[in-house]
Chain A
Amino acid sequence: MKKRYLTYILLLMLFSANAEENSTNYDVHKKILIPEVTVYGKRPLKEIGLQQTKLDSVVLKENIALSMADVLTFNTPIFVKSYGRATLSTVSFRGTSPSHTQVTWNGMRINNPMLGMTDFSMIPSYFIDKASLLHGTSSVNETGGGLGGAIKLSTKPTEQEGFGLQFVQGVGSFYTFDDFLRLSYGNEHWQTSTRIVFSTSKNNYKFRNHDKKINVYDDDMNIVEQYYPIERNKSGEFKDLHLLQEVYYNNKRGDRFGLNAWYIYSNRELPMLTVDHGDDTDFDNRQREHTFRSVFSYDHLAEAWKVSANAGYIYTWMAYDYKRDLGNGVMAHMTRSRSKIHTIYGKVEEEYHLHKKWLFMANLSAHQHFVESRDKNIILQSGGKGIVGYRKARIELSGSASIKWQPIDRLGMSVVVREELYGKKWTPVIPAFFIDGILCKKGNLMAKASVSRNFRFPTLNDLYFLPGGNPDLKHESGWTYDAGLSFAVGKKDVYTLSGSATWFDSYINDWIIWLPTTKGFFSPDNIKDVHAYGVELQADLSLIFPKDWRLGLNGTFSWTPSINQGEPRSPADQSVGKQLPYIPLLSSTINGRLSWRSWTLSYKWCYYSERFTMSSNDLSLTGKLPPYFMSNLSLEKLFLFRWADLSLKGTINNLFDEEYLSVLSRPMPGINFEFFVGITPKW
């Protein structure tokens, strides 16, 4: 507690000292803008009925050390399940599993075709210029398979003239170093950009380990003392390199070309569990990855229609090595797993506007995957060497047609019909219907509703992984219903206030779960029927005060029961009617951003309620994870010189040094700090 009050006092002193500073001529408009309130009567036809959360550039570009997992944690109602700092971070959208969230980057789906999910710790937020969440039914507009929803990530041209350079250096706790460099050039027709992020950290944060004790023995090997050790996060070092090259050409006659290429190299140790009694110097548990993603895009815009064509390619090489020292200095492989994925992507899309009241859209996309998985080296009965793994290819086609209609300003309707092919299997038709209407122009009070059916096919590991893959799996299917209200009020250069409340109701059948078998390995099966429902609330407030004070506040709240409604596995099954494990019933986020001239103070807060670790929701000692609150604080100062813009920023993560867990036996860092220096020369 003492530490917390000291922090308060420190902050207040710091803030009051800064508030007295008499500085002028700072350009604060980059920080908080007070836009005019959107007039929904003229809203885009494309967005009729959509339940969508857009993340703005202030959130995405907050600091270079953030991954999209961090951004989603503090700015959206999505639950992010993190296995630790810079380790696997997956999302649960409206109480569904990570593979129920479809993720696209510049239109191309980037879910791992073997696992179905996306690791958001591998996506630096500084590489994303636009991000939006399509909740539930709204994901059908983008892709199929998003039983929870979809997340659209994309880049965009800087729209600048001449050369640009930005460099940010971050130095933080646990020997953490983050570097960001962006080189850009633009003219009337061309825009190019090169972005590099390089992050390294020993990641050896301290924590008190309450899961084990250290024994002190006497000479006769009797325990004379036991204590909880203060340990460091062992084997958590990481090095991540991201390189993004973009080239855009616009002939100003309606044709736009774009090329995006993103290379990732990651070398991450996998931290030891809190219950591991091995010597970390004797074990090496490591994951490495090379991934290359590229998309070429072409858009032609005319007055009433638009046609787009995209082509892309993804290559992913992943290695997992678990080694131990045999005592002679030789690190021998306990597990040596390799996988390669090649994905070829193509998409064509057309939009046609008719009389400003009709919009017709159609698209067809294809993802062709070639996958090779080599998971274990064995000695065969004959004495030769063998490899346990599989090699498969699968084509995935997805096509949709939609009609958006706005008969009057106050009313909009949309119908989407989607059809998908996975390998040789077609989904039934995926229909979706959306409607919205202005209830009251004053306050832009709007009602939205939508309904859709959706399907998700098993991943390649679900079907073919050795051992355990189950080629007889059925696809998962579900119905989702959404309804909500939103409003927006404001006064230009004074304030804006907007908010929304959404109720959703989803039924997912034949949910695929991996379970152990009597042969000692796991195998997937269509086990569960799940009813996920709940409420999502969002609110945004921006205020401008006299003397250049500005305040931005936004918050989210979710209530997400996700209930197992399947048949009991056996007469003893206690899981039916219970909340799914690791899905919080309640979650909330609040963000505050206070600016005065060139100073900005940001505060981020999130909350997750208790999470059960068992399907039966037993409240045993290891049956639940306590709820946790997390607070981050940062203070930034801009210096605008004639020759360059300079920014200094300090962040405090886990401000109150909370002990918390996102996953059992995975320690999370306590209070930690990072300092950033950014420079943007003016040419």
Chain B
Amino acid sequence: MPYKIKILLSVFFASFFLAGCMEWEYGLEEDFAASGEGLFITNEGNFQYGNASLSYYDPETKTIENEIFYRANAMKLGDVAQSMIIRDGIGWVVVNNSHVVFAIDINTFKEVGRITNLTSPRYMHFISDEKAYITQIWDNRIFIVNPKRYEITGYIDCPNMTTESGSTEQMVQYGKYVFVNCWSYQNRILKIDTETDKVVDELTVGIQPTSLVMDCNNKLWTVTDGGYEGSPYGHEAPSLYRIDAETFQIEQQFRFTFGDAPSEVQLNGTKDKIYWINNDIWEMDVTADYLPIKPFLPYQETIYYGLTICPRTGDVYVADAIDYCQQGKIYRYSKDGELIDEFYVGIIPGAFCWK
């Protein structure tokens, strides 16, 4: 073979060494021992990018640990972490577009099991140790599951919804009845008999009730967002509703200004005050007859995305999603409105869960 050809071939094949191995940082399982009080923050992440995460904050030491699910389990949490609840030392993290609910140890953050193949889960509510409901969007059924076996055991059909327009959200229980707000292109609160797993009644409220809680007087509170301009479902001024759980009747409707976008109704630990976001952060006694005039925390050049109240101290935690494409920030205020702490978490911190 001529010398020049040999050089030619050498140059050609040497170029193959331009290819290199990529270094992937697959997580190693990390050990945690988070005893004591704590606050879980579910960070939604960006839809379709699978970068949801779970953060854990210790209010005592004011320390934050981010991506704890990934770090403890060496796998991703999934796509759009929607909500979390705790029962008997197990945290149940609902990951909407991954069609899964993870069960984790709340001290080690290790996975102990999972419920899979859900349509598009939003919230979970326990009826007993062996029975829980999981609400869905884009499905007209609420899934009944056995949390001990991580199995889907049945469905509750919701009336006047198709799969495409199905939307059930947050649940609260009064006696043997569970109440659930129907949000996307809906305007109802459903009442479910937990003995028969049937919808037994429904109450029409305003357009798109976004959240649901029950206060110390057994009154349900929900706030509507009023829809949006151009919506075929309608667009109206939003309202806050107080509903008697016993009679399932609206006791009082508090109207907001047309164009407002209230959300995230929350209760304090004694359940005698409600809080919500409407540009500012607002606080009101559950017995009040009028909406407050002054906010608890005024608007601070950002759009608040999540809200929770510490059940023990009354501290108010507000989530700022910033541009929805970076680590969000949590602000912790005392019940008097003084800033106590601030820390960064994951992308789009949307929901909280107290340990």
Contacts and interface: CB of A to CB of B under 8 A. Distances in A.
A223 B114 CA distance: 10
Nearest to B262: A518
B340 interface: no
B49 A569 contact: no
Interface residues of B, number: 100
Given A273-B98, A282-B117, A594-B8, A334 B139 contact: yes
Interface stretch (B242-250, B285-293, B319-327): B319-327
B106 interface: no
A520 B150 CA distance: 29
A115 interface: no
A137 to B, nearest CB: 29
Contacts of A607: 18
A442 interface: no
Interface residues of A, number: 99
A333 B164 contact: yes
A81 B43 CA distance: 25
Interface string A468-494: 110000000000000000000000000
Interface in B1-23: 1-2, 4-5, 8-9, 11-13, 15-16, 18-23
B175 interface: no
A275 B233 contact: no
A221 B22 contact: no
Interface string B178-210: 000001110100000000000000000001101
Contact of B327 (A381, A388, A469, A616): A616
Contacts of B99: 276-278
B163 A215 contact: no
Interface string A490-528: 000000000000000000000001011111110000010
Interface in B45-67: 45, 48-51, 53, 66-67
A659 B48 contact: no
A620 interface: yes
Contacts of B108: none
A275 B2 contact: no
A660 B19 contact: no
B217 interface: no
Interface stretch (A36-44, A341-349, A372-380): A372-380
B323 A615 contact: yes
Nearest to B302: A570
Contacts, number: 277
B160 interface: yes
Interface in A590-615: 590, 592, 594, 601, 603, 605, 607, 613-615
B113 A569 contact: no
B302 A605 contact: no
A332 B138 CA distance: 10
B91 interface: no
Contacts of A630: 19
* Most chain B beta carbons < 10 A, residue from A15, A276, A279, A618: A276
B234 A381 contact: yes
A595 to B, nearest CB: 11
Interface stretch (B24-32, B34-42, B265-273): B24-32
B5 to A, nearest CB: 6
B50 A211 contact: yes
Contacts of A513: 323
Contact of B117 (A279, A519, A621, A660): A279
Interface string A352-369: 000000000000000000
Contact of B326 (A333, A518, A574, A605): A574
A614 B348 CA distance: 11
Classify the interface of chain B: helix, strand, loop or mixed.
Answer: loop
Contacts of B283: none
B303 interface: yes
Contacts of A520: 183-184, 210, 225
A19 B1 CA distance: 9
B73 A213 contact: yes
A226 B49 CA distance: 24
Contact of B185 (A276, A324, A379): A379
Contact of B233 (A276, A386, A665): A386
Given A324-B139, A334-B138, A518-B303, A626 B323 contact: no
A547 interface: yes
B300 interface: yes
A527 B323 contact: yes
Interface string A258-292: 00000000000000011111110010000000000
Contacts of B79: 273, 275-276, 665
Contacts of B120: 334
A152 B239 CA distance: 54
B87 interface: no
A315 interface: no
* Most chain A beta carbons < 10 A, residue from B79, B114, B323: B323
Contact of B164 (A221, A334, A545): A334
Nearest to B204: A381
A547 B67 CA distance: 61
A655 interface: yes
Given A12-B13, A631-B19, A665-B49, 7 more contacts: A275-B78, A276-B99, A386-B232, A551-B11, A574-B326, A620-B327, A630-B19
Interface of A: 8, 11-12, 15, 19, 210-213, 215, 217, 221-223, 226, 228, 273-279, 282, 322, 324, 326, 332-336, 376-381, 383, 386-388, 390, 466-469, 513, 515-521, 527, 543, 545-547, 549, 551, 569-575, 581, 590, 592, 594, 601, 603, 605, 607, 613-616, 618, 620-622, 626-631, 655-656, 658-660, 663-665
State the 4 A-B residue pairs at the shortest beta-carbon distance, nearest first: A665-B50, A570-B302, A616-B326, A278-B99
11 contacts: A210-B26, A226-B111, A273-B98, A276-B78, A276-B98, A277-B78, A388-B232, A468-B228, A518-B277, A518-B303, A622-B45
